[in-house]
Structures are given as C-alpha cells and as structure tokens.
Amino acid sequence: MVNVLLECAQGRLRGVVDRGTYRYYGIPYAAAPIGARRFLAPEPASAWSGERDATQKGPNAPQINRKFPGLDATGFIGDGWRTGDEYLCLNVWTPDPKGKAPVMVFIHGGAFVAGTGDAPAYNGRNFARDGIVCVTLNYRMGIDGFLPLAGADTNLGLRDQLAALHWVKAHIAAFGGDASNVTVFGESAGAMSIANLLGSPLAEGLFRRAIIESGHGRMLHSFDCMQRVIQKLAEVLAVPATAEGFARRSLEDCAKAVDAVSQPGVIADLREPNGLDPAFGLSKFLPVVGDDVIPVASEEAVAGGMGSNVELLIGSNLEEMNIYFVPPGICELDDEIMARFLLGQVFPRADEALLSYGLGKGKKPGLALTEAMSDLVFRQPVRDFALAHRGHTHVYEFGWRSTAFQGRLGACHALELPFVFDTLATCSGPEGLVGESAPQDLADHVHALWAGFARDGSLPWPEFEAGRREVYRLEERRSCSEDEFPAAQLKV
C-alpha cells in the first residue's frame, strides 16, 4: 500500500492506495461530543491545519463489547471501544478521487449500544473496486446517543447520522463521489435508523435510495417509557436524572452502566401501554418518537407519503432470532411454561403467537418461540413497512444457512452482511458467523445486486405490493409470491 494525499474543504488528508482503490479512515464529520457538547446536537467539525493522518482507524463510540456464547462476533461488531474524543468520524473508500461515482453510506447495527463502522466485515474496498464510493460511520450510542435526558437534545445518535449525511452531501465530491446519487444502507439498529430517517422531515434530500436490512419503523419508545431506563441508570450511576447529572460521570462509567442495565431482569418492564415492548427485550435503548427528528412513528410517516421519492430495498433473514437463541440454548427449550413466560414479558398475545407457530403440535417450545419471534420482531414488520412505503419498493429474503453451531445457527440475523460487503473471510471459521466454506458465488451475487441498486435503482424482480407480495430469495436467485405469516394476524 502507498500513501496518497487528498485536498478537501476541511484540509489535507493522507490516505492509502490499496490494490487500486483509495482509503481514508477517521475523518471527523462533527465536532467532538465532549464537555458542553456531550448531550447536544452535533456541530460541524472544524478544519485542520497541515496534513491529517487518515491511514489508521479513528476512535469509535464508547461501548462494552457484546458477547455471543460460542460465536466470534468481532467480524461484524468490531473488537470493542477504541477511545478518543473525535469518534464522530467516518471512513471513505473510493475508486478514484477525481471521478463522479455513486455513493453508498453504511450505518452499522448493535442494538443502539454497540458496534462500529470499521468492523472488519464493513471494509468498503470491494464496493470501491466495483466503482462505488463507500462511506461507513460511527455515531453516539447508549446514554450519550439514545437517552432523552432533561436538558439534552433528543435522538442524538440519529442527529449524528444526519450530520454525517450532510457531510457527505457537502464533501463527497472531493473523494470522487456523486452527491446527487447517494444510497444509505444499514442493518439491525442501523436499518431501524434508516427507517426512521425515511420518515423524518430532517432527512429530506439527503439520499436517493435506501437499503434496510432486518429493520423497520416500529422499534421506538415513548418519552414516558424511557423514563424507567433513565431512572435506573441514574440509580446505578448515583447521579440526578438529568443531562447535567449524567455529565458528571465519565464515558467509561456510562458504558459500564449501559451494560449493567442491559442484563436480563435489571429493568423488569419496558412495555408500552399496549403491552408491547417494541424492542422485544433485545435492547433497553431505542429512538424516541415525538421530537423534530421523529415527529410521528416512521411507518405512519411513510404511509402518509414521507420518503416516497426514495427508492427502497428492504428485507430480512429467514431465521433472524437464531443468533440470539441458538448460542444460549433457548432454541432447544423444552419447557412450555417458560416459553410462554419469555414471550409474555414482551408481547401481549404470547399464547396465541406460540400456538400459531406450532406449540402443542409436536414442535419444541423453544423452536416455536424462536420462529414466532423471528416473524414478530423482524420479518412481519419488514413486510408491513414495505407496504406502507409509497415509493418504489422491493423486498428480499436471505435464506442461506450458516454452518456454525453444527448448522443450527441457520439464516440468522446479520448473516447477510459479509455477503453484502463481499468480505466472507472476516466472518469465517469454526466460530465465525458464516461458519466454514461459505459460498463465494452467493457473495458475488448479493454484493452485485446492492451495487447495482446503488448505481441506478435497478433490481431484477417486481416490486412488492399488497396484491402481489413478490419477494426475491437471494440464495435461490429468484423471486416468488409469498404467503402471509401467522404474525400478520397478531397485531397489537
């Protein structure tokens, strides 16, 4: 690799040329969120003097590394917190700084408490190889990003993402990108974020296309419900339940507190008045609805026409919940009472749901729970969001099954990511997400579909509509008409 200099409006950057593509790490898109700025909306980053080293990864957001028993998640979660004040930064891979290529901006997942834009699987070099400028970014999470504190701005993590998209609009031309042809894509919490941005008046004009991988617009909390999280965290940290109070504690102390309240049973009940926990117990931190970022729930907003000028590709994986329930053995649960209890803690129609998914008909309770939650948490809301969107909308399903955990991990949550980025090696091995010997030809296919959509919106199957539920099976390379899931009859 050879160092290379680039001039942009902020100053001079030193990046690297890697096998014919250009890479720039750790570019600040907003001022460091420290001191008086810690709980406020992001401000533009200042210019620098001289030459800034962009050859090494920058810092990322404060977090405690997530663990999955028996599974090496480093490839798609990263290796934990890399400290530094300027963690509101992004990375750019480009085929040619003097070109005018389509742009893809990736927002990582991690339950709004973990993850990083420079995890190994999110290496954007292969998009640059194929003529796309790829951007990945970090944003505030946990207490600093998604806690609606008195005296703080709300939905700070989403405001950070908006700031990064404004940076792309203003600066990406200097990296060879076409600011008028931006596709935003993300997975899990990143996909939920994009669904919310689609419905936000603050995001209008920032992107032409969106790819939502295992996400939708229903994982939102009310301000009232989030007060339970605030009070518990204030108790753990021994501070007043205000921005001023939380600012007394270090980023490290707050990251530890996020981890503490995320353990099962610490906050017993995050159900809204309708009896539903919108995160189904998967996270204590969600965006809140009712501010200027999310005035109304995004599914309602897009049904009313917001984001109708944005072309949408949205989808899910066949066995989403396996990543949560296979490693700890919940999928093998034989206790029917426990299965009812676990789902009943987060979903008011638990008994009906489990019966609809085979409980009492010869199916193991843990498997019925896993299949029900795969549909309730991810697959059904994805279809509902697709139907709500008033613009061009295509739906995919990823059904290739990982060989990890003796093949039991299956087509789980996040599995498509190394196929999308064409980075299978980063998640391979006996404890890797894709297991061993994942099919490179499928990665070639999925990666090419995403890149083609980013170029001009083209996809080789019909749009998804109420009267024609056409879904593209990625592993089969064909589309088919899909029947409704039992979850479609379990609205709350």
Q: What band does 366 get if pLDDT is binned at 50, 70 and 90?
A: very high
H/E segment holding residue 191: helix 189-198
Q: What percent of the chain has pLDDT over 70?
A: 100
**Which pTM value belongs to this model?**
0.98
On the question of pLDDT at 268 being above 80, the answer is no
Whether residue 234 contacts residue 241, with contact meaning beta carbons closer than 8 Å, is answered with: yes
pLDDT at 68: 87
Which tens digits make up the pLDDT trace of 73-113?
Answer: 999 999 999 999 999 999 999 999 999 999 999 999 999 99
Distance CA 166, CA 205 (A): 10
Q: What are 216-242's pLDDT values in tens digits?
A: 999 999 999 999 999 999 999 999 999
Paired strand residues for 221: 288
- Pair 221, 288: CB distance under 8 Å: yes
Cα 347 to the chain's mean position, in Å? 23
194-206, pLDDT tens digit by residue?
Answer: 999 999 999 999 9
Domain parsing of the chain, residue ranges: 2-489
Q: Report d(CA 74, CA 181) in Å as an integer.
A: 31
Q: Please tell me the distance from the alpha carbon of residue 92 to that of residue 57, in angstroms, as a whole number.
A: 11
Instruction: Provide mean pLDDT across the span 152-170.
Output: 99
Res 65 pLDDT > 90: no
pLDDT at 66: 81
- Tell me, what's the pLDDT at 159? 99
> Span 65-70, mean pLDDT?
86
DSSP string, 39-88: TS---BPPP-SSEEE-SS-----------BTTB--HHHH-SS----S--S
Whole-number percent of the chain with pLDDT over 90? 96
Does the structural domain 2-489 have CATH classification 3.40.50.1820?
yes
The pLDDT value given to residue 221: 97
Write the CB contacts of 294 (distance below 8 Å, at least 6 apart in sequence): 155, 158, 196, 199, 200, 220, 287, 288
Residues whose CB is less than 8 angstroms from the CB of residue 469 and which lie 6 or more positions away in sequence, other chains included: 383, 395, 481, 482, 483, 484
Please, what is the average pLDDT of the chain? 97
The residue behind tokens 């250009």 is 22
CB 11 within 8 A of CB 50: yes
Q: What tens digit of pLDDT does each residue of 311-352 get?
A: 999 999 999 999 999 999 999 999 999 999 999 999 999 999
Q: Which residues are catalytic?
A: 188, 320, 413
